[in-house]
Structure 1
Amino acid sequence: MSNIFSKAANIYNLFKSIDFKQLEALSKKVDLEEVMAQFGKMDEKQLAGLMKMMKGGGKKKELPPIDADFYDLSGKLSPEDRELQMKVRQFMETEVKPIVNRYWNRAEFPFDIIPKVAELNICGITFEGYGCPNRSFLMEGIIASEMGRIDASIATFFGVQSGLAMGSIYVCGSEEQKQKWLPRMQKLELIGSFGLTEPEVGSAAAGGLTVTAKREGNKWILNGQKKWIGNATFADVNIIWARDLDDNQVKGFIVEKGNSGFKADKIENKMALRIVQNGLITLTNCEVTEENRLQNCNSFKDVAKVLRMTRAGVAWMAVGCARGAYESALKYTRERIQFGRPIASFQLIQNHLVEMLSNLTAMQTLVYRLSELQDNNQLTDEHASLAKVFCTLRMRDVVSRAREVMGGNGILLEYDVARFVADAEAIYSYEGTKEINSLIVGRAITGFSAFV
């Protein structure tokens, strides 16, 4: 008897909030007698479930936050470093994200953001003196990742400025050159580029630069071409690496914008990093004074010091690119409804998401340790190369899966992942290909050099 009363109470509760007019309207749509008969056949559990459904499921399901730092590596940062990380994140989300697809599509650079980047006071972050913050390599990596999380082009622009261009002067320049150039570059009053790669020389730069330098009295005459040089079309300070015809060793030169014999043409029709203004530099009897020769560069080994320092940053950038793709894909799958449910609730989609997060978490822990080695002055070429190889390979897998779970929408710029997929291809190649970096690691672990 109690069971009957309980059922009756549940049925009453279903209808007690319905007024007469609503009940009258309902009766025109359904057979109320049949409905009541069906209710009578239900057990208490079924009735309770029906009540929950009619109430909209009760409290709306609260989803976990979208955060790819699954192992909470940010929790290891000091409060000051965490504050800086969030400051850069907010800048990228509020100043860059709203405009990035428009500029990427037009292959133009948003010059208006340069003063805003300067306000962050992060340029030359690891350098001591010259107005630089003198923070850790770990923070330099985190900044690269935060920028790459929104846009790899802006991360590349910053990496060229803060790492390659300023780093060349910091590592290879005289004290006078550092004092002259670095403070203004740190404030982004002067923009730099880094000219190493050539039309016919990429991986073989260590042994075969075709750009030549010939000393004549107190000046040097540079001839040849450089290709894929980021920022070159608008840079004030261009670091040019050339082979000295007299001793066949690599020398570094600071070539200023407007220097006679210097020309930079924009490389068009790129499918990746379209915001980055890559240039084809042509040097035709370009005269550079001895004062603008990097005084502490005497061979390619000195160039390698700069590359070793910045290659770790590229690994971090790959982490950022992968993270941006993963978080965009996760957000999309939680909002995209198919078959009456968010596609994030389907097993195959969850498998893709977990594979992406697994790759990303492995990348994050690797680069975190890499930066610890760098901060302890223990970083080697093979450490940096292994990170570049692994992180860019896994990045490609992550962005591919992000594209996969988004279906046709994955190729539209408005969903961001298409841009991450394209930009990942450039990150995969620059600062040393997968093959070259693998050979650097292979030489270290076997004791044999497989280079030609």
Structure 2
Amino acid sequence: MTLALDQTEGAEEAPGIPAALLDADFYGFQQRLTPAEQASVADIRAYLEREVRPGADERWEAATSPRHLIPGFADLGLFGSGIESVRHFENSAVYRGWIALEIARVDPSTATFIGVHSGLAMNAIAVGGSPAQQAEWLPPMARGELIGAFGLTEPLHGSDTAKGLETTATRRTAADGSDEWVLNGAKRWIGNAGFADVVVIWARDTADDQVKGFLVRQPATGFTATKIERKQSLRAVENADITLTDVVVPESDRLQEIHGFRDVAIVLRLTRADVAWQAIGVAVGAYEAALAYANSRVQFGKPIASFQLVQQKLADSLADITASIALCVRVSEMLDEDAQRDHHSAMAKAFATRRMRDTVARCRELMGGNGIQLDHGVARFFADAEAVYTFEGTYDMNTLIVGRAITGRAAFV
């Protein structure tokens, strides 16, 4: 069931994967991309099918990150694609969202790894760094030579980090007369932290009570990262608990353009819509596996795809995917128009992740007992959906951001 659309000229094609639109792109939104963007999507899709999909289940089960694929990701321009100084070619926010969809469609853990490194760590430097900091860090991070992590969430503070952040930063004069900072505190659920070359740590200045950002080069004395074990979602993302005990950071490694949590929120706004796109990819991955299964699974003497209730599950799932794509296309266009605000990306994230959750549950149900086994293609997406539903703002918190915009009243506490 492939849409009758021409393939992108010159695009590499993996066996069985059309270089045109995905079946799940029922209204053909990908056609809104420029020819260069569509060619890049085709190249990335082929690479994902060739290099990332094989072994994705095994990496998920073993809880190991696909670090060996980093050079390939860099060659495709997946790192810093939205940052003008390092991107491979001029592109739109819709293109960048579509790439998040494509990666999550194959492996949500890989999409999260890239999102942490490129979307959070690199954007933190692009938004909050001085020109010198940007020049030092962004080019090697775009080439995959240095990997970044983003340390915001704490053991006791997730949704309330804006006001509740407990990690502290105290400024002092070093022995040589230079300015330096001493960081103390803890972080939790920090992706890439165990192997990152630089960790962006957000801490509250003990002098003015404002949140500031710090580039903690690794290894750093007093910095420990302990891998979180026994996860049941995004297992191939290596999350860590971080402890900071008198970690010394020179003033030159403080993000110079970060003056409070409002600046941190700019970084989060840039990535929240991408997580909405990632949620669509998770839903698409489950939908594609369920559709293939429905056409091959025979019960009562015929494929279950011929049964009305099975078709209803597939149709409902495709409708949820299509509605989410439409919403995300518009919110990404608004980013390019400099019209996107926190409540716009919050609505997209809340809506897309709720629809994703419904879709993966439907697709798991369609497979019956086989739906809980990795071999049949839905179980990994079913489990990974729970983490995507939660990070970058829970569903409840994102609805409250929208509610504040609607009513003019904050209902967070």
**TM-score if structure 2 supplies the norm length?**
0.93
Contact 1:66 1:330 in 2 (8 A): no
1:246 maps to 2:202: no
The alpha-carbon deviation at position 110 of structure 1 amounts to 2.2
Contact 2:77 2:87 in 1 (8 A): no
Answer with 1 or 2: which has the greater Rg. Answer: 1
1:291 maps to 2:252: yes
Distance in 1, matches of 2:282 and 2:326, equals: 16
The alpha-carbon deviation at position 139 of structure 1 amounts to 1.2
The one-letter code of the counterpart of 1:380 is: R
Q: Unmatched 5+ residue regions in structure 2?
A: 1-20, 174-178
Question: Which residue matches 2:47?
Answer: 91
SS in 2 for 1:274: coil
Q: 2:373 aligns with which of 389, 406, 412?
A: 412
The alpha-carbon deviation at position 339 of structure 1 amounts to 1.2
The one-letter code of the counterpart of 1:174 is: S
SS in 2 for 1:377: coil
SS in 1 for 2:55: helix
Question: Which residue matches 1:449?
Answer: 410
The alpha-carbon deviation at position 130 of structure 1 amounts to 3.9
The alpha-carbon deviation at position 131 of structure 1 amounts to 5.6
**Count of matched residue positions in the alignment of Structure 1 and Structure 2:** 388
Question: Which residue matches 1:316?
Answer: 277
The C-alpha deviation readout for 1:39-86, integer Å capped at 9, x for no partner, is xxxxxxxxxxxxxxxxxxxxxxxxxx9710100111222211111111
Alignment of 1:51-450 (within 5 A): 67-130=23-86, 133-217=89-173, 218-450=179-411
Distance in 2, matches of 1:66 and 1:342, equals: 23
The one-letter code of the counterpart of 2:323 is: A
The C-alpha deviation readout for 1:271-318, integer Å capped at 9, x for no partner, is 000000001010000000001000000100000000001000000000
Distance in 1, matches of 2:297 and 2:317, equals: 18
SS in 1 for 2:160: helix
SS in 1 for 2:245: strand
The one-letter code of the counterpart of 2:381 is: F
Contact 1:370 1:384 in 2 (8 A): yes
The alpha-carbon deviation at position 132 of structure 1 amounts to 5.3
Distance in 2, matches of 1:432 and 1:179, equals: 30
Contact 1:403 1:417 in 2 (8 A): yes
Distance in 2, matches of 1:77 and 1:130, equals: 21
Distance in 2, matches of 1:102 and 1:189, equals: 25
Contact 1:404 1:410 in 2 (8 A): yes
The one-letter code of the counterpart of 1:183 is: P
SS in 1 for 2:346: helix
Distance in 1, matches of 2:246 and 2:258, equals: 21
Distance in 2, matches of 1:162 and 1:132, equals: 14
Distance in 2, matches of 1:448 and 1:132, equals: 42
Change (3 A) 1:238 1:132: farther
Distance in 2, matches of 1:208 and 1:158, equals: 27
Contact 2:80 2:86 in 1 (8 A): no
Distance in 2, matches of 1:447 and 1:244, equals: 30
Change (3 A) 1:131 1:396: closer
Distance in 2, matches of 1:262 and 1:183, equals: 25
Root mean square deviation, CA, Å: 1.1
Deviates more, 1:74-83 or 1:391-400: 74-83
The C-alpha deviation readout for 1:325-383, integer Å capped at 9, x for no partner, is 00110011001111111100001100111110111110011101111111111110000
SS in 2 for 1:203: coil
The alpha-carbon deviation at position 134 of structure 1 amounts to 4.0
Distance in 2, matches of 1:78 and 1:448, equals: 41
Identity %: 52
Distance in 2, matches of 1:130 and 1:321, equals: 28
> After TM superposition, where is structure 1 displaced by more than 6 Å over at least 4 residues in a row?
none
The one-letter code of the counterpart of 1:77 is: L
Q: Which has a greater percent of helix?
A: 1
Q: Unmatched 5+ residue regions in structure 1?
A: 1-64
The alpha-carbon deviation at position 122 of structure 1 amounts to 2.5
Contact 2:81 2:87 in 1 (8 A): no
